[in-house]
Amino acid sequence: MIIKPRVRAFMCVTAHPTGCSKEMDKQIAYIKSKGAIEAGPKNVLIIGASTGYGLSTRITAAFGCKSSTLGVFFERPAENGKTASPGWYNTAALQKAAREEGLYAESINGDAFSNEIKDQVIAKIQADLGKIDLVIYSLASPRRVDPNTGEVFRATLKPTDKVFSSMTLDTDKKRIENITLPCANEDELNGTIKVMGGEDWALWIDRLLAEGVLSEGARSIAYSYIGPKVTWPIYRNGTIGTAKKHLETTGRTLNEKMATIGGTAHVAVCKAVVTQASSAIPVVPLYMSILFKVMKKKGVNEGCIEQIHRLFVEKVYSGKGLVLDDDQRLRVDDFEMREDIQTEINEIWPTLTNDNFHQIADFDGYQKEFMSLFGFGIDGVDYTQDVNEEVSL
């Protein structure tokens, strides 16, 4: 079929297999250009492995460290004339490239919050890998079914202390609009913590430890975001940030548990990048458009793959131990949070209007990256050509 983008608000409901595959090639080539990561892990479990930060971690582990990778994700294959989801196409391309190099790359598609998927993962590790020495937790989900009670919890993106009004980007209309977000109620806050907090990460680590499938000295890392004050009402101090603080607290408990096998568990704070998860957060796409403009001007902008490569080589596998901040977190958001960069963003923010934001923010860059998540707008892909949407894993 000929596949065209069909964008609905902050989602594109179609994806292009050739475009996604080319994006994979680009990330793989980047990692290979950086050379081997000698002290890297051997067997890596990535929970949330098909897009965004989890996918880049899988690429870094496989092509930088020659690791065997087991990926868990929730993606949709092509069906009834509909394309697969981008994470499906990404994974197909990644597995093909890894296997061509003789690397183990297997995947489990299903609900990582469920007991059934945890069972399947344990069985797969026992059958194929024996033990894991790095567990990455990179889920971003709007809902979670509690595996024991069956209760459904939903994540909400709202402030927690007072009504918040701000400029935001309407990415459909390509316009700046004003948005007013009401304060979350207690159920909404608790639901967000249930979905995006640390409970499920802890269930994974408890289970992996109990089954004895983590090797001596194994590490676990979960991804988080803090960001600047301009987004704090909706992010750091909002429902999602409260869930992330829960993730950080959980990390400290898990670090103690991992110590029983000489291992570690930490949160890694990454920079704002365009992913399916971040494009859904109000205000953040507008902030990112300015951030990219400023960071590109200073030559320090990074995407997921550059961030994770730096996390591996500078903060985790440098051979000199973990590099942590005072709160026991790994930080690769250091460039984003640099004072000169944030000062410039703070100067630009109040001057933004619909007349000038294409010049003083990098909205075109934001949009290009958004479309590329779905395999569109990629150089060298002829979108007028027929392509088989059915790709197997």
Among 10, 58, 75, 303, binds ligand NAD (CB under 6 A): 75
Site string for ligand NAD, 276-315 (x = CB under 6 A): xxx-------------------------------------
Q: Residue 79 pairs with which residues in a beta bridge? A: 82
Q: How far apart are CA 64 and CA 27, in angstroms?
A: 11
Backbone angles phi and psi of 360, in degrees to 5: -95, -5
Of the candidates 325, 305, 380, the residue with the CA atom closest to the CA atom of residue 62: 305
**Length of the chain, please?**
393
Closest CA to 67 of 332, 312, 372, 320: 312
Of 235, 287, 317, 366, which one is the catalytic site residue? 235
Longest dimension (CA), the chain: 60
DSSP, res 188: H
User: Site for ligand NAD (CB under 6 A): which residue of 120, 141, 190, 328?
Assistant: 141
Distances (CA, A) of 224 to 245, 253, 321, 367: 9, 16, 21, 23
Nearer to ligand NAD, 215 or 233 (CB): 233
Nearest-approach distance from CB 233 to ligand NAD, in angstroms: 17
Shortest distance in whole angstroms from residue 77 CB to ligand NAD: 13
Identify which of residues 50 and 215 has a Cβ nearer to ligand NAD in the complex. 50
Q: For residue 89, indicate whether it is catalytic.
A: no
Q: Determine, following the binding rule CB under 6 A, whether residue 73 of this chain makes contact with ligand NAD.
A: yes
Report in angstroms how near the CB of residue 262 gets to ligand NAD at its nearest.
26
Of the candidates 104, 102, 170, the residue with the CA atom closest to the CA atom of residue 357: 170
The distance of closest approach from Cβ of residue 74 to ligand NAD in the complex, given in angstroms and rounded to an integer, is: 4
User: Should residue 49 be labelled a site residue for ligand NAD when binding is judged by CB under 6 A?
Assistant: yes
Q: Is position 135 an interface residue for ligand NAD (rule: CB under 6 A)?
A: no
Among 112, 155, 189, 345, indicate the residue that binds ligand NAD (CB under 6 A).
Answer: 112
Q: What is the Cα–Cα distance from 140 to 103, expressed in whole angstroms? A: 27
Q: Which residue has the tokens 């000199």?
A: 320
Binding residues for ligand NAD (CB under 6 A): 48-54, 72-75, 87, 111-113, 138-141, 223-225, 270, 272-273, 275-278
- Catalytic sites, residue numbers: 235
